[in-house]
Amino acid sequence: MAKFFIDGGARLSGEVNVSGAKNSALPIIAASLLTKKQVVLENIPDVHDVRTMIQLAEYLGARVEFKRNVLRIHTPRLRRVAAPYDIVTRMRASYYMLGTLIARNKKAVVAMPGGCAIGPRPVDLHIRGLAALGTRIEIKDGYIHAHAQSIAGNKIDLQGPKGTSVGATINVMLAACGASGTAVISPAAVEPEVVDVANFLNALGVEISGQGSHEIKVRGCSGLDQGVRYRIIPDRIEAGTFAVAAAITGGDLLLKGAAPEHMTGVIEKLIEIGVRVKLNGRGISVNGHGKKNAVNICVAPYPGFPTDMQAQFMALLATVPGTSTIRESIFENRFMQAIELMRMGADITIEGDTAVIDGVRELSGAQVMASDLRASSALVLAGLAASGTTIVRRVYHLDRGYERFAFKLRRLGARIRRGR
């Protein structure tokens, strides 16, 4: 199994191109199966999750060509309406085919996604939302069977115990594309990826309004047969990860093509820590020279501080003098990186949903194990700053969501290589 070998201590400098957002690309690829005409998607990141979604699209009947971040996808006819367990288990976002297949075909069978490393991750809101659209849902043999005579325009309540859900908002939006009336989704998630999917659907000829607010209206239409060319937004989490790479190594990076308007929660915390952040027409420049301050972070839905950046900031704060805290309020079990960072000399205590981090003078290289996508990037960041060599095992987690991560880091001066 592949590993990363990192010799820490190099200050990163230079320019890095920010890739397209994985969490937009996945539902938008699924949504491309709504139309009979060809869709051309630009800025699609070449990461394993995207390859898995392409595989699923092909399995369902799409013809796909993927070259240099441009994806052409054409589905004149669906061949199947089922997403099998072996694909769904590799990637939760396969469940976006549920909404798509319901809208296009009124019928879908998608394996129930299980829990995952970061917690139980239920799909009750997806199911409740789809049922409110008039879909009959049955869970049988580990599969969600959905069937609708017709899809109703209705009011869809997505209030859950932790607020609304990004995935459920998108899934219901997709299914509502096939509704005979107007569906009103409330409360809707406001993440930029939700807005991107809505903008894509509008370009396809669906009428969606309110995206970016807590109430989204979808006016469905049957038989979409419009083609479209659409460009995916930049990945705010990849950009944030490189910003932390600059901060933790005391380096100086230009994040080319990053969208600062999607990153206010992260930028505010970087500035509070003492990192210099400047916006210019080409992207965001991040300079991590100089003294840094401990901070308190509370993860929150957009536009707050994203749960997908919490692990990377934990690595950074482990090297910042003083006591910092991170409170994770969205997922229940998302501090797995802490124990691995402690193997590198970090001083971290977990108290319920809060991590207390006492900065140390230096982290030291160790063998560590990646457990999920963002936790893995945190370990690489820690390795960049640590003395000696860090070996990160199970880097397939990183391959799922970061495009050519080691290559990009190496171009900025990092001493990182992939090996066995």
Contact 258, 234 (CB under 8 A): yes
Kindly tell me which of 148 and 373 has the beta carbon lying closer to ligand UD1: 373
Task: Give 159's DSSP letter.
Answer: -
> Binders of ligand UD1: how many residues, by CB under 6 A?
22
Kindly tell me which of 116 and 152 has the beta carbon lying closer to ligand UD1: 116
Looking at 53-61, 63-71, 124-132, 286-294, which segment touches ligand UD1 (CB under 6 A)?
124-132
Kindly tell me which of 60 and 125 has the beta carbon lying closer to ligand UD1: 125
Task: State the Cα–Cα distance between residues 58 and 73, nearest whole angstrom.
Answer: 9
SS in 3 state form for 341-363? HHHCCCEEEEECCEEEEECCCCC
Q: State the residue number with the nearest CB to ligand UD1.
A: 167
Rounded least distance, CB 292 to ligand UD1, Å: 26
- The mark string for 271-310 relative to ligand UD1 (x by CB under 6 A, - otherwise) is ------------------------------------xx--
Task: Give 156's DSSP letter.
Answer: E
Residue 196 in the binding site for ligand UD1 (CB under 6 A): no
Task: State the Cα–Cα distance between residues 374 and 238, nearest whole angstrom.
Answer: 10
Kindly tell me which of 138 and 225 has the beta carbon lying closer to ligand UD1: 138
- Residue from 175, 326, 330, 414 in contact with ligand UD1 (CB under 6 A): 330
Contact 60, 78 (CB under 8 A): yes
Residue type, 401: G
Residue 311 in the binding site for ligand UD1 (CB under 6 A): no
The CA–CA distances, whole Å, from 158 to 110, 121, 207 equal 20, 15, 20
Say which residues have a Cβ less than 8 Å from residue 339's Cβ, sequence separation at least 6.
none
CA dihedral angle for residue 362, residue 363, residue 364, residue 369, rounded to 10 degrees? 180
Residues taking part in catalysis = 116
Q: From the centroid of its chain, how far is CA 311?
A: 14
Rounded least distance, CB 116 to ligand UD1, Å: 9
Give, as ranges, the residues between 77 and 106 that touch ligand UD1 (CB under 6 A).
93
Say which residues have a Cβ less than 8 Å from residue 206's Cβ, sequence separation at least 6.
177, 218, 219, 220, 221, 224
Beta strands at 252-256 and 283-287: parallel, antiparallel or unpaired = antiparallel
Q: From the centroid of its chain, how far is CA 66?
A: 20
Rounded least distance, CB 46 to ligand UD1, Å: 17
Looking at 119-127, 200-208, 240-248, 359-367, which segment touches ligand UD1 (CB under 6 A)?
119-127
Rounded least distance, CB 125 to ligand UD1, Å: 3
Residue 122 in the binding site for ligand UD1 (CB under 6 A): yes
Residue 245 in the binding site for ligand UD1 (CB under 6 A): no
Residue type, 267: I
35 three-state secondary structure? coil
Residue 400 in the binding site for ligand UD1 (CB under 6 A): no
Picking from 316, 328, 209, the residue whose alpha carbon sits closest to that of residue 269 is 316
Residue 126 in the binding site for ligand UD1 (CB under 6 A): yes
Task: State the Cα–Cα distance between residues 211 and 292, nearest whole angstrom.
Answer: 37
Give, as ranges, the residues between 144 and 173 that touch ligand UD1 (CB under 6 A).
160-162, 165-168
Kindly tell me which of 70 and 112 has the beta carbon lying closer to ligand UD1: 112
Kindly tell me which of 172 and 416 has the beta carbon lying closer to ligand UD1: 172
Residue 123 in the binding site for ligand UD1 (CB under 6 A): yes
Kindly tell me which of 122 and 181 has the beta carbon lying closer to ligand UD1: 122
Give, as ranges, the residues between 18 and 47 that touch ligand UD1 (CB under 6 A).
23, 26
- Residue from 143, 331, 335, 402 in contact with ligand UD1 (CB under 6 A): 331
Q: From the centroid of its chain, how far is CA 33?
A: 21
Is the bond preceding 260 in cis, omega lying within 30 degrees of 0?
no
Residue 235 in the binding site for ligand UD1 (CB under 6 A): no
Q: Which residues bind ligand UD1 (CB under 6 A)?
A: 23, 26, 93, 121-126, 160-162, 165-168, 189, 193, 307-308, 330-331
